[in-house]
């Protein structure tokens, strides 16, 4: 059960934790929220988080200073609040990578104060061809 959530209209959340994709019905009760339809406990945790503080990973690319590889792919090394995705995307839009980074190298530390780093996911700058 979870409380402090307005569920005057019941919601259905599709769990994305595993490929089963359970449809979890979230219904307000006097005691909080009742979750039904999930096949396991992880689904209830996921639905509760979606209702209160949805989190996401971000995968995107940033510009580089190298003509043979003008962009390089990156991702967050953890989840950030979904509400921060636009701000993080804008911050990454200001970045130009000027060194030949490789997979796992940190591109932006503690992006937008989230405590999460943005790391490189490609060796394109060390093996451009
Ligand atoms: S509720 Fe459990 S079984 Fe269903 S999709 Fe989520 S993790 Fe998978």
Hey, where are the domains in the chain? 11-52, 59-120
Span from the CA of 15 to the centroid of ligand 1 (angstroms): 6
Atom of ligand 1 nearest to the CA of 38: 1
pTM for this entry:
0.80
Class of domain 59-120: alpha beta
Q: Is the CB of 17 under 6 A from ligand 1?
A: yes
- Please say whether the beta carbons of 89 and 58 come within 8 A: yes
Q: What is the pLDDT of residue 30?
A: 87
Q: What residues of the chain score a pLDDT lower than 70?
A: 1-4, 128-129
Distance of CA 33 to the CA centre of its chain: 24
Express each pLDDT in 87-119 by its tens digit: 999 999 999 999 999 999 999 999 999 999 999
Q: 36: Cβ below 6 Å to ligand 1?
A: no
**Does the Cβ of 21 fall within 6 Å of ligand 1?**
yes
Residue nearest to atom 3 of ligand 1 (CA): 39
- Tell the residue nearest (CA) to atom 6 of ligand 1: 43
Q: Is 15 in the pocket of ligand 1 (CB under 6 A)?
A: yes
């Amino acid at each position: 059960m979870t409380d402090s959530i307005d569920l005057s209209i019941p919601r259905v959340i599709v769990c994305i934790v595993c490929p089963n994709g359970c449809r979890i019905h979230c219904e307000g009760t006097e005691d909080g929220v009742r979750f039904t339809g999930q096949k396991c406990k992880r689904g209830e945790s996921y639905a509760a988080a979606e209702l209160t503080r949805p989190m996401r990973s971000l995968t995107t690319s940033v510009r580089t200073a190298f003509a043979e590889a003008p962009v390089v792919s990156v991702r967050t090394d953890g989840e950030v609040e979904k509400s921060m995705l636009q701000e993080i995307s804008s911050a990454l839009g200001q970045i130009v990578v000027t060194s030949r980074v490789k997979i796992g190298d940190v591109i932006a530390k503690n992006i937008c104060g989230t405590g999460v780093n943005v790391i490189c996911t490609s060796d394109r700058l060390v093996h451009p061809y």
